[in-house]
Every structure is written in C-alpha cells, then in structure tokens.
C-alpha cells in the first residue's frame, strides 16, 4: 500500500483503554485511513505503562510512555519508581507521562489531595531528568501550580533545542501558551479546540509560534466535532488538525507536515521513508 499523502501523529491516545472497550481494531483502522502513521500510547501507572509497552511491541506504528497519572491515589514508592525506570529503558519508550496536577473536583472524578499529586509529579519529573525524556503533562484547572512545578523540576537534561515536553490537552489561554514556550514545552491541542465556547483556547492555538504545537486525541475520551459523543479514535486527530490549521490560516496539508515534524522532534520518533526524519 502506498503511503498516504499527508501524515499525522496522534501524540496522545490510550490504546490499552481502547482495547478494554473492544475498540482496538477500529482504532488502528481509523488511524490508517486518516494517515495517522504514528501513535503515542500513554501510560497511567506501572501496570498500564507495561501494557502499553506490549502494545508498542505488537504494532510498529505505536510508541509508548511511562506514566503516573495525578488521579493515582498514592505517590510512587521506591519499588514502583524502579519499575517505571526499567520500562523507560525500553527502546520504544519515548516519554514520561502522563503526569501532572488535576484540581477539577467533582464527586466520583478523583479525590487525590494536592500534596499527594505534587509528590507524584516531583518524583516523576526527577525520573524524566534521570532518563533525559520529555514529559507529558496533564493540567486540569491547575495552570499556575503546573508552571511553578515545571520551572522547578524540568532541568536541561534533553539536547539543546529538543522540547522539554508537552502540555497535553492544552486548556489555557494565549498567556499560558507563552509561558509554555518559555519553558520549552510544546502545546498539544485535542478535540476541545473544535468545541463551541472555547475562544481563549482557539486564540492560544492561533498565537503560538510555528513548531510549538502538536495534536492529539486522548482517545477514547474527548472526540472532536463532528464525532462528539462517540468514543474517540486516533484517526479523528485529522479533524482536530484541520481545525487548528484553519485557526492559523494554513492549509491542512501544510499544518499537518509542520505538526508532524514537531511531534517527531518532541518524542524522537523516526521520520518515514522519503522524509528527512530524525
Ligand atoms: Zn490527561
Ligand atoms: Zn490522557
């Protein structure tokens, strides 16, 4: 089969959760149809990260990250940190995350105290430094504290010029986007940018300098318009990329090429045949 004209990377999906919902095959097919030639499947804790490792070993278009989600009720202990470190040595492990802070408090969502979340985040930032990996950061209603923690804990372990990480499912405004750039963080736009009443988010997407945006699905969550209300699939990242292209006054293929190059620089993914990859 010939390679699709436009290639995209879904920088953030949860293939293990899609598999649990019986949607893995559909997820991989949707990606192929939409030209999503690479996917980063995101880990949530030791066990989930290990299952994502298996996913990456099974499918050549899949890479994985090693994470400790802020909803995890305890901070990682020494044994868990060493298990996460072991996973990070895998050749297809491309980042540390998701990690972060979540201050959205609703009954039944999560009940992890801020202090526990901060302990988890700090341990994981150290792990990322030790392994010179980019971080995948979850920030829900916690912008100021996330910026403060990243300022403290990011360091400069990665090569000069390589992004320090990504603010996944970016939910801030143009001011937060500027702070992200200062921290050498890439902003990742999800289906939320296609939702109504997200003017500040759209302004952020329009304001960022070239080379500092990527796109993601967070599948199975947050399907973009026109798929809203269904389980999200990695192929739907094309709808988000097209929406962001419009906001930036670019053609869809132009923006796809740019954002794909940024995603590859972020996670050190190979370029495909015929492209000047790294
Ligand atoms: Zn998240
Ligand atoms: Zn996620």
Residues with CB under 5 A from ligand 1 (ion): 98, 138
Q: What pLDDT sits at residue 273? A: 39
Residues 6-38 pLDDT 10s? 899 999 999 999 999 999 999 999 999 999 999
Nearest ligand to the C-alpha atom of residue 171: 1
What are the contacts of 102-109 at 24+ separation with CB within 8 A? 102/70, 102/71, 102/138, 102/139, 102/140, 102/141, 102/142, 103/140, 103/141, 103/142, 103/145, 104/140, 104/141
Nearest ligand to the C-alpha atom of residue 41: 2
278 — pLDDT class (breaks 50, 70, 90): very low
- Residue 137 Cα to ligand 1 middle (Å): 7
Helix axes 143-153, 174-182, angle to 10 degrees: 10
Residues 194-218 pLDDT 10s? 999 999 999 999 999 999 999 999 9
Residues 140-191 pLDDT 10s? 999 999 999 999 999 887 887 899 999 999 999 999 999 999 999 999 999 9
Nearest ligand to the C-alpha atom of residue 13: 2
- Residue 274 Cα to ligand 2 middle (Å): 31
- Residue 95 Cα to ligand 1 middle (Å): 14
- Residue 275 Cα to ligand 1 middle (Å): 31
């Amino acid at each position: 089969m010939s390679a699709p004209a436009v290639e995209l990377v879904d920088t953030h999906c949860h293939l293990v959760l899609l598999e649990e919902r019986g949607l893995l095959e559909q997820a991989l097919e949707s990606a192929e149809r939409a030209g999503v030639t690479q996917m980063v499947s995101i880990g949530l804790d030791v066990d989930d990260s290990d299952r994502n490792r298996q996913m990456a070993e099974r499918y050549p278009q899949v890479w994985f990250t090693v994470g400790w989600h802020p909803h995890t009720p305890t901070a990682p202990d020494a044994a868990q940190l060493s298990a996460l470190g072991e996973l990070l040595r895998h050749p297809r492990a491309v980042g540390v995350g998701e990690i972060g802070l979540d201050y959205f408090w609703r009954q039944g969502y999560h009940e992890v105290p801020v202090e526990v979340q901060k302990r988890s985040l700090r341990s994981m930032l150290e792990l990322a430094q030790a392994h010179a990996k980019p971080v995948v950061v979850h920030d829900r209603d916690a912008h100021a504290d996330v910026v403060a923690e990243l300022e403290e804990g990011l360091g400069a372990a990665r090569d000069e010029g390589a992004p320090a990480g990504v603010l996944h499912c970016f939910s801030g405004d143009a001011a937060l986007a500027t702070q992200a750039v200062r921290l050498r963080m890439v902003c990742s736009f999800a289906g939320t940018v296609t939702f109504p009443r997200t003017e500040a988010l759209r302004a952020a997407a329009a304001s960022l300098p070239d080379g500092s945006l990527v796109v993601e699905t967070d599948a199975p969550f947050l399907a973009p318009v026109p798929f809203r209300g269904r389980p999200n699939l990695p192929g739907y990242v094309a709808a988000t990329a097209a929406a962001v292209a419009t906001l930036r006054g670019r053609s869809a293929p132009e923006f796809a090429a740019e954002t794909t190059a940024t995603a590859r620089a972020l996670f050190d993914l190979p370029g495909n045949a015929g492209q000047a990859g790294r």
